[in-house]
Each structure stands twice: as C-alpha cells, then as structure tokens.
Amino acid sequence: MTTNEHDLKMPSFGSDMHQGSLTEWLVKEGDHIKRGDVVAVIETSKGAIELDIFEDAQVLQLLVKEGDKVAVGEPIARLSSATTTSKPATTNKESTLATPAKALDLTTIEAPSSQQAPHKNFVLATPAARQLAQQQQLSLAAICVNNNNRIVTLAMVEQASQDQDPNSPSFVMTETPPKQIMPVEKNSDLDSHQHKQTQVKTGFDKDAMRQAISDTVTRSKREIPHYYLNQRLDISALQNHLQRYNNSVPVSQRLLLAAPLLCAIARLLMTNKQFNGEYLEGKFQPGETVNLANAINLRGGGLVMPVIHDAQNLSVELMMEALKQQVSRARNGSLVYSQLSGGTCTVTSIGERGAEQMFAVIYPPQVAIIALGSPHQEMLVIDDAMHIRWVINASLAADHRVSDGHSGARFLYQLNQLLQNPESLWQTPG
Amino acid sequence: MNEITFREAFKAAIVEALNNDPRVFLMGEDVGNYGGCYAVSKGLIDDFGAQRIIDTPLSESGFVGAGIGAAIAGMRPIVEVMTVNFSLLALDQIINNAATLRHMSGGQVSVPLVIRMACGAGKQLAAQHSHSFEGLYAHIPGLKVLYPGTIGDARYMLEMALADPDPVIIFEHVMLYNQQASLPEKHTVAPMEKAVIRKTGTDLSIITWGGCLFKALDAAEQLLNLGINAEVVDLRCLRPLDRTTILDSVQRTHKALIVDESWKTAGMSAEISATIAEQGLWYLDAPIRRVCSTEVPIPYATHLEQASLPQVAEIIAVAQQMIAESQIAMGDKE
C-alpha cells in the first residue's frame, strides 16, 4: 500500500470567509487520525468551529501554531494517508464551496492595509525574513496574516519559529553585554503581546459576524435574481400525528415540529433538483445529496447555518438528534467544520412567536431558501366548509437563473401534499 | 591620560613626520607665516624654517602640481589645500596626474604625495568653503582617501599615508579641530585601509566616517537609552573601501543606516548602499536608509546650515523607525 502525502488546508466555512485563526490543535505530530476525528479548533467570524477530517491519515507536521491567522487554502498541516481512499473530501468541499479561484489561490492574501502592496502571488518580506522562513520551512503567508498583513521581517519569523518549537533556544541577544540588555518597558510590551496572542478567544465576534452576514446578503442580493413564492402549508395532520407520537415516547425522545418538516423538505429536494445545489462560475451544479443548511439565530444576535448532511436519508428521529446537536453547538460556538460546509439548500424558521410570513435571502452559492413562518391557526375553507386549521406560511426564494416560478410552485404544492400524509415521514426513507 | 585636540593631533603628526624624515615638507596657502588657515601648522615655520614649511601662491593647480613633481623626484611632500572646495582648482593635477602616473608609466613612476584638505560644514563658511567631496575623490582609481574621525586616526594616519607609495588624500573636518579626546596608544590604531567598529551593537549598523562619526556615536548612545543597540562602523578610508567590515556588520545586525555629510545623489552613501545590496541583500531585514545633507549648496545662515546637515536627532529618528518597522506587530492586533 502506498502512502500519499498532502497538505491539510485551512478550509472555507463559507464564501464569506477569507481567513481563520487556529485556536487549538487537538492532534500532535505523529498522531494517527480517523475520518471524522476533530483535529483542530478554528476561530472564524462564525465562531469557534471544530475542524473534522474526511480521511484516515497520519499527521506528519503541524505547519501553523496555535493563535496563527491563516488564509483560506493555506496549508495548516502535512498529512500522510493511504492512497486507497478517494480524493480527500476537503479538497472537494473547497472547490465547490469557496469563492471561485480566490480561495483556491494558496498564496493570495487579503491585503487591506497599506503595508502589503497588492502583489497577488508574492508575500512581501525582507530578504532576511524570507531566507529564515525558507530554512525553517515556515509559511511566509501565514506569518504575514498573523502580523496584520505587514511586511514580514526577521523578528516575525523568529517569533513564529519560537512559537512553533517551545524548546528552541531564545534568539534574543545571547551575545549581548549586560548593559545592552533591552530595557524593561520593551520586554513588558513583548510579554503583553505574547499573552495577547496566546489568549484563546471563545464565543463569537459579533462585529465580525455582522460584517460577514452583511457581505453575504449584499452579494446575494446583488448577484442572485431572486423570485418569491408563498404557500400556506396545512400542518394540522402533521401536528396531530406528532402529538400522538410524542405521547408514546419518553420525553427525551420527543420531536419538535421542525424535525418532520425538515425531513419533508429534504426528501422533496431530491426530486426538485433545481433548488438543491450550487451556482458557481456561471453554472448550476445540482447537489448529489441534500445537505440542508438550517439557519439558527443566536442569542445576542447573529446567524449560523449549520448543515445537516444527507438530510434526505434521515429518519425523523435522526433529524431531531441532528437538530439538537446543531443548536447546542451553534449556541455555544463549537460547531464542527463538516457541520458548516457543503450546504445545498437552506431552511429558515421564524419560530413559534415570530411573524406569520418571511421572505429570505438566498445564501450563495446556493440557489434556494425556504422560509417557514410561525405556526398559527387560520380559518380554512375545505370541502365547502369552514375549518380551523394549524398552518404555516412557507415561502420559497429561488434563483431565477436556475429555476422558474412554475417549478417553485410545484415544489411548494408537493410539500403541502406530503404534509397531509405525515405517517410517510416516519417511515425510514430509502 | 591627557586629552588633546584634533588640531594638536594633526600638528603632532606633521611634526613627527618632519622630524623623522628629511624628505618630508609642508606646502600650501598660509601654512607658514600665518600658521595655517585652521592653525594646524602654527609655529612650525619657526622650528623647521621656510625651506620645509612653504607658503605658496594662491594657485592650487600650481602648488599641487609642484607637490606631485617633488614626490616623483623622491621627496615626501605634505600639501595642504585650505578647503576641499578649493581643491577643485587642482582636480586636473590630482586626477589626471597624481592618480594616473603609476599606471600610465607601467609602474615606473610613483607619486608618494599626501594632500591634506579641510572640509565639512558647521562654521557658517557657506557654500564655497563647506562641502564634502570625499566621495568625489573616492571615485578615482589611483587615489587613497582617508577621513579620520577619531583622535587616534588624526594623530597616526599621516604616518601611514606618508609610508604609502601612492597619492593619499586626508580630509580634516573643520568641526573636529577643537574637539578634545584622550590619545590612544599608537599600536591600538588600525591600519589605514581598515574600517573599525567604534561601538558594537546588535540592532542596526550605523555606517559613517569623518565628521559624522561623533554624531553617530552620540546617537547610538541615546538610542541605547531607547532600547536600541546600534553598532557604529567608522569607515576611516573611503578608497579602498573596506567592504568586508561593512558586510560583516550588516550580516549581524540586518539593518544598515548610512550617515554621510555629503548629498545622497551619486554620493559615497549610494556606493555603500549598492555594496550592501549587491553582497548583503539576503541578510537585510529592512530597507537601507541614509541620513545625508539636504541637496542644496550648504547655506550660510546658521539655522539653515544646521537644518541642511545630518543631525543626531535625525539619526535617532530614522533608527527608531527602522527598528519599529521590523518589530513584531504590537498593539494593532485585534
């Protein structure tokens, strides 16, 4: 069996992400890791996210240190894996998720400051810094990002080198006569700086998240020609069935309305492919599976979109489990990479005390979002008689480049029909 | 140890040479009866007589040419040119004759001539008496160019220059004449073509010579209080240039700041910068910086004159900036 050495790269958790901070390594060099293992915690504007791995591999080398800011696509670790496994899933995710070309360009660094000139493929560094980084096999790009995109100097590389190997001797002036020792105030500056750098930030950066949301919705509204459809979903039958089910199981296993609703949507998306997939580089790529993103509102503001993978295959019970885990992880900011990546369609629910109707903004590069208003009772005319029914106003916002109103209307109609036969949702799909 | 002035050191060197070698004589404008424009040769005519302390007509081309002829004929003349600006009148003799004759004669003719020139600004002598043209002379193959910036070099470089078989120009900065320092032992003075590190340091190399050396050392002292440990390299000899010492220093400190009382454009500082860029680039951790005179003829008015020259405060400011730029990001991190 041959082995395959390759880089583990800073993943993109969304098209709005340009860099992430490696908050914590959960593996060390030499470790053998299995598919699904969490290897690191990455801090982004979406919060601290656990990076799980898509393959069985051995960690050869950790290329960045804790606290480093790393651009998306930049290598963070060197892995060795058996070639019998298929191409690492991370690579696939990146190529479909990230902003085209930009995030894949390994050496591209966001250079908002005046310090780094806009050389697309060249990290500005002093010759001495460049040489040392090369000798120590440190990434100039990572050091640059870690120092606010400033021109990389020797001191920055030495710092990175020391941080990488805590046992290495200090570079600081071993030859210096006593009277030339740096004065105290400078040392204390350094100390506080190092302290700052090693502090692990937890929770979410609200301003950064607001900015990320702002960037995303602005891009969405600018690029995606939305159209909107509205459908009243009669959920009375579903409610009844759900209540009977919940009465028959222990409290811990009870389901929320969201679970069967998401199951219904996910299964329908498998046959309504125009709403499930990604629009990239002028082309729509239908999803092979339904990775249903679920917009979760955070206490204190902000949104995260954790993804339930292969949602069309989940039973209502498993869907409930996935939801519970997602919400708790989202709210304490410990989402795992795979839970934030690869979404092919999004569902957003206003909740029980919210508005009756919502029209949502598509999360690019997805092509549709389904918004569910709050469940409420309405008077409906059925078979020439008035009935008080539980309803949800569902809306579909879809990308007109990919689909037309007619197919959108059919999708919503099918959804309503499916909900009239709730027993089928409890059957294991497949 | 007794302190002496640079003037006394230069004078003692001439006296010693006159005493040790009968071939040595001093020649120039007002060097005899007047005692020298800057009083370096004051009283020498009484001790050595008008045969060896020769007052010349006001013709730089004439008496420098006479000095070249005397040197060819076997004498060891010391020619004093009142200021470097006046030496431009003797450029033909210095560049076309003194510097070339060994090469043009296939080694048959040597010109063991020493030319002393006062130079530099700071005494409100304006644009025709204050300039720094050592870079211009350092450009010329066939010449050796010395610029003592310490009392030891002022005292002992003349002997080394007289011992050299080729024409040597010694610059004497006018602001140094009155400065005092204790005279070191002769054996501690380095050979004339060797640059000397006057202060060791780790953070940056200040490369300078002559009249700017004391400013650089003053700046380095103050920088130490600011937490910056600067090394000060005294070039002493601008031709041949001790590139090895420059590069060794920059390889250790990774930063070069050149202080030159001349102008930047096409000057000595440019040559040093080019040397570092050519041979020391991979060791640099900051762009090379230069503190030089403003690109104007040196002004007469004292505030303008001072403003036009490299000053200690500017050296400190530029050094601090170089260090700040290369330090790890602080404060501005989120």
- Hey, where are the domains in chain A? 3-97, 127-192, 206-426
d(CA A161, CA A68): 12
Tell me if B282 and A129 make a contact (CB, 8 A cut-off). Answer: no
Kindly state whether residues B270 and B316 are assigned to the same domain: yes
CB distance B97 to B238 below 8 Å: no
Q: Domain tally for chain B?
A: 2
d(CA B61, CA B89): 6
d(CA A119, CA A335): 34
Comparing B64 with A315, the larger pLDDT belongs to: B64
DSSP assignments along B171-196, one per residue? EEETTTTT-EEEPPPGGGSPPTT--E
Q: Which residue has the tokens 């058996």?
A: A82
Q: Which of B188, B213, B237 is the last residue of a domain?
A: B188
CA dihedral B3, B8, B13, B17 (to 10 degrees): -130
Tell me if B283 and A128 make a contact (CB, 8 A cut-off). Answer: yes
Catalytic residue among B29, B60, B80, B261: B60
What residues form DSSP beta bridges with A24?
A: A41
State the CATH number of the domain containing residue B116: 3.40.50.970
d(CA B244, CA A38): 54
Shortest alpha-carbon distance between residue A134 and chain B (Å): 12
Predicted pLDDT of residue A16: 67
Angle between helices B312-326 and B213-225 (to 10 degrees): 50
pTM above 0.90, yes or no: no
d(CA A68, CA A83): 30
Closest CA to A348 of A340, A336, A359, A339: A359
d(CA B64, CA B27): 9
CA dihedral B222, B225, B228, B233 (to 10 degrees): 40
Nearest-by-CA chain B residue for A181: B227
Please tell me if residue A159 touches chain B, with a CB cutoff of 8 Å: yes
For residue B218, tell me if it sits in a domain: yes
Predicted pLDDT of residue A110: 34
Residue B87: exposure state from Cβ atoms within 10 A (0-12, 13-18, ≥19): buried
CB distance B104 to B130 below 8 Å: no
**Chain segment B112-153, per-residue pLDDT in tens:** 999 999 999 999 999 999 999 999 999 999 999 999 999 999
Please tell me if residue A195 touches chain B, with a CB cutoff of 8 Å: no
Predicted pLDDT of residue B333: 35
Kindly state whether residues B154 and B237 are assigned to the same domain: no
d(CA A132, CA A141): 14
Tell me if A129 and B285 make a contact (CB, 8 A cut-off). Answer: yes
Copy the structure tokens of residue B64.
């420098």
Q: Which residue ranges of chain A lie beneath pLDDT 70? A: 1-3, 14-16, 46, 82-121, 164-205, 299-300, 332-334, 352-353, 430
End-to-end CA distance of chain B: 57
For residue B331, tell me if it sits in a domain: no
Predicted pLDDT of residue A204: 59
Residues in chain B with CB shorter than 8 Å from the CB of A182 are 227, 229
Please tell me if residue B197 touches chain A, with a CB cutoff of 8 Å: no
Please tell me if residue A155 touches chain B, with a CB cutoff of 8 Å: yes
Q: Which residue type occupies B330?
A: M
CB distance B166 to B102 below 8 Å: yes
Q: Which residue type occupies A332?
A: N
Kindly state whether residues B224 and B164 are assigned to the same domain: no
**Chain segment B209-266, per-residue pLDDT in tens:** 999 999 999 999 999 999 999 999 999 999 999 999 999 999 999 999 999 999 999 9
Question: Which residues fall within 8 angstroms of residue B217, CB to CB, at 6 or more apart?
Answer: B198, B199, B232
Q: Which of B167, B188, B209 is the last residue of a domain?
A: B188
- Domain span including residue B99: 3-188
Kindly state whether residues B178 and B273 are assigned to the same domain: no
Rounded to the nearest angstrom, the gap between the alpha carbon of residue A275 and the centroid of all alpha carbons in its chain is 20
Phi, psi angles (nearest 5°) of residue B294? -60, 145
Kindly state whether residues B172 and B209 are assigned to the same domain: no
Predicted pLDDT of residue B232: 98
Residues in chain A with CB shorter than 8 Å from the CB of B284 are 126-128
Per-window interface: A 103-142 vs B, CB < 8 A: 126-129, 131
Kindly state whether residues B80 and B171 are assigned to the same domain: yes
For residue B301, tell me if it sits in a domain: yes
Nearest-by-CA chain B residue for A208: B334
Q: Which of B188, B206, B221 is the last residue of a domain?
A: B188
Q: Which fold has domain A3-97?
A: OB fold (Dihydrolipoamide Acetyltransferase, E2P) (2.40.50)
Substitution target in B328, B330, B332, B333 with the highest count of A β-carbons within 10 Å is B328
Kindly state whether residues B131 and B80 are assigned to the same domain: yes
- CATH code 3.30.559.10 for A206-426: yes
Predicted pLDDT of residue A38: 84
Predicted pLDDT of residue A164: 66
Rounded to the nearest angstrom, the gap between the alpha carbon of residue B256 and the centroid of all alpha carbons in its chain is 19
CB distance B245 to B194 below 8 Å: yes
Comparing A214 with B1, the larger pLDDT belongs to: A214
Tell me if A148 and B332 make a contact (CB, 8 A cut-off). Answer: yes
CB distance A274 to A227 below 8 Å: no
Please tell me if residue A156 touches chain B, with a CB cutoff of 8 Å: yes
Per-window interface: B 236-275 vs A, CB < 8 A: 254
CB distance A354 to A339 below 8 Å: no
Please tell me if residue B283 touches chain A, with a CB cutoff of 8 Å: yes
The interface predicted TM-score (ipTM) is 0.70
Predicted pLDDT of residue A212: 80
**Chain segment A7-23, per-residue pLDDT in tens:** 888 887 766 677 888 88
d(CA A31, CA A60): 8
Kindly state whether residues B130 and B14 are assigned to the same domain: yes
SS3 A296: strand
Of A153, A183, A196, the CB nearest to B326: A153
Kindly state whether residues B158 and B251 are assigned to the same domain: no
The answer to whether B271 is a known catalytic residue is no
Kindly state whether residues B80 and B156 are assigned to the same domain: yes
Predicted pLDDT of residue A131: 87
Other CB atoms within 10 A of residue B245 CB: 20
Kindly state whether residues B81 and B211 are assigned to the same domain: no
Closest CA to B333 of A183, A159, A304, A182: A159
Substitution target in A19, A115, A154 with the highest count of B β-carbons within 10 Å is A154
For residue B332, tell me if it sits in a domain: no
Kindly state whether residues B78 and B49 are assigned to the same domain: yes
Catalytic residue among B8, B129, B131, B173: B129
Copy the structure tokens of residue A229.
């459809």
For residue B334, tell me if it sits in a domain: no
Per cent of chain B over pLDDT 70 is 98
State the CATH number of the domain containing residue B321: 3.40.50.920
**Chain segment B3-46, per-residue pLDDT in tens:** 999 999 999 999 999 999 999 999 999 999 999 999 999 999 99
Q: Spell A408-430 as b/e; 16+ CB within 10 A means b.
A: beebbebbbebbeebeebeeeee
Question: Which of the 8 DSSP states describes residue A429?
Answer: P
Please tell me if residue B86 touches chain A, with a CB cutoff of 8 Å: no
Question: Which of the 8 DSSP states describes residue A85?
Answer: S
Bridge pairing between strands B237-239 and B144-146: antiparallel
Closest CA to B332 of A17, A193, A23: A193
Is it the case that residue B329 has pLDDT exceeding 60?
no
Residues in chain B with CB shorter than 8 Å from the CB of A159 are 328
CB distance B290 to B273 below 8 Å: yes
The answer to whether B131 is a known catalytic residue is no
Residues in chain A with CB shorter than 8 Å from the CB of B325 are 151, 153
**Chain segment B264-284, per-residue pLDDT in tens:** 999 999 999 999 999 999 899
Is it the case that residue B331 has pLDDT exceeding 70?
no
